[in-house]
Structure 1
Amino acid sequence: MGRRNLTHVSDFILMGLTESEELQLVLFMLFLLIYLITVLGNAGMMLIIRLDLQLHTPMYFFLSHLSFLDLSYSTVIKPKTLENLMASTKYISYLNCFAQMNCFILGATECFLLSSMAYDHYVAICNPLHCPVVMSTSRCCFLVFESYLIGFMDSFVNELCMSRLNFCDSNVIHHFFCDEPAILVLSCTDTHDTEITMSTFAGSTLVGSLITIFVSYVSILSTILKITSTSGKRKAFSTCASHLLGVTIFYGTTLFTYLKPGKSKSSKKDQVASVFYTIVIPMLNPLIYSLQNKEVKNALIRVMQIRKDSKQLK
């Protein structure tokens, strides 16, 4: 390939996770199953929250947007990944590739949604009497809007940085999707300033949201330790358990992958970590928040009962 700007690239080649045809078939079946569970789980979560009035609370308002992000995230990446697992030539167009990179707006947005959920837990446990006022509908809408706005700003900066790069040696991406670090290593120009800028914005997003989560849970833990009844402590811990598990999995894989210099990355390790936050986590979130949550289970029973009663009336 001759020296050319990224805007002139018509397509890339995704090398994928493995070159073994047998393993590709196994991964195709596994990823297809995960994608179906992801779609059903997140779409079902949004539907239940919308239909059941008892779930019209701040926590479930944030959770519905989290499900929307996970569903969108999966739909951008997984179908092309499934297609390439069964294709002999694993091409991806320029537009599709940049669409996948831009979907990391969803990742940045998810960071601040998770921090908003932590803040909601803090208010509910530490200041329960003020919760309806502090977590009003307008406040919740503002927090969600702010999360999306930060995600758009982060994506715009990354897009601007990537569009200035030149490529002259290869269009082969050693990854199963268009991840920014995997594309950075293809550039034949100096990417130091680009990496610094992108790492600064990504680091600010991660650290800013993590600080909110950390401070919220330090206050929550302090309050829980002051509760005298065992049942009260258990109830408070159960309220936070699902969110803490989701935060641990999401931030663990994200920090491992992105807070390192781009060209020093270990490709295989990054691909394994990427499988978790692009394929596995969007499936796990609705399971984590529903299996450990009696309110969601009860809401599902109520919705199913209402549908059953409506059919009997007809």
Structure 2
Amino acid sequence: MTVSIRVVVLGYAPPAAPTKASGKRKKRPLERTHSSRINVEFQLRTELEWSVLQLKEAIANQLERELDGAANGVQPENQCIAVNGVLVCDADSLGTILFDSRTLVCAIDKSEPSPSNTPVQSTHVSGALNQLRSMGFSTKRASEALVVAKNNVEGAVAFLTEGIQVDTSSHEETDTHLADVAMTKPYSLVGAIQSCNPDHLVDLSLDRLTAAMRRRQERECNGSHVEDGMEVDEETKDDDAVIAIYDDERDAVHDASQLADVDAEQIALDRLQALGFSRHDAYNAYVACDRNENAAANFLFESM
């Protein structure tokens, strides 16, 4: 299936190779010996069954036509393709990556290092900064994006191209942050929990519950059951507390569900009685119809 997509190309073209000198020396225009910045946009007709590698070859050919041969050194291995701010692999198919988008960004990752007045950074941060600069972003914008994305290149690309702020925090960072708040500012713990990623909080709770139940099962299998009057270590106390909290919450949910079912049944029986039927007949019909109030009412009317 043929589709037309919008391609935005950013980055720097590699320097052109020097031409051979002719026998007769004559003046000629200066050759391009430095990398030239590329910032072009064009429509490209593609096939959904293509791979990303085939797409890169088509982009290289189109760039050569768009720039009159000035980008003849741009090879597929020098291209990075991003869709919706996410880098894709050469083996991916276009039908997969273009499922909900018809626009992609092609970054040319082959540039000369530019002098910078910023202080010396760590190898990881400077490498990420150079990678973003090679895609055509200014040093200032690349630095700001890395700060927002916590030095995550994919998150920075998403922020720069789509304005999407990707949550790159890990479960360990969430756990460490909450532990620090609990130790230093326990009165701010509720606010800290509310500001955390809910998915991380759920995963942390499940991880701790699973670990506590596993340790309890290991103690029971090893015959280390605690008898009455025996001293209990801190780890056992913590595990029992975690499991007890889970049991209490589960019982509370179960009790609330039972109360809701009882209330619904009482309301349904009251309405059936209001139609002129006895409480006994209403209850029997309600149970016989699998607690469906409408079906019970029809059954009672048909039985008259």
TM-score range, shorter chain: under 0.3
TM-score, with structure 2 as normaliser = 0.20
TM-score, with structure 1 as normaliser = 0.20
The structure richer in strand per residue is 2
The structure richer in helix per residue is 1
Q: Which has the higher contact order (CA 8 A, sep 6+)?
A: 1
- Who wins on radius of gyration, i.e. which is larger? 2
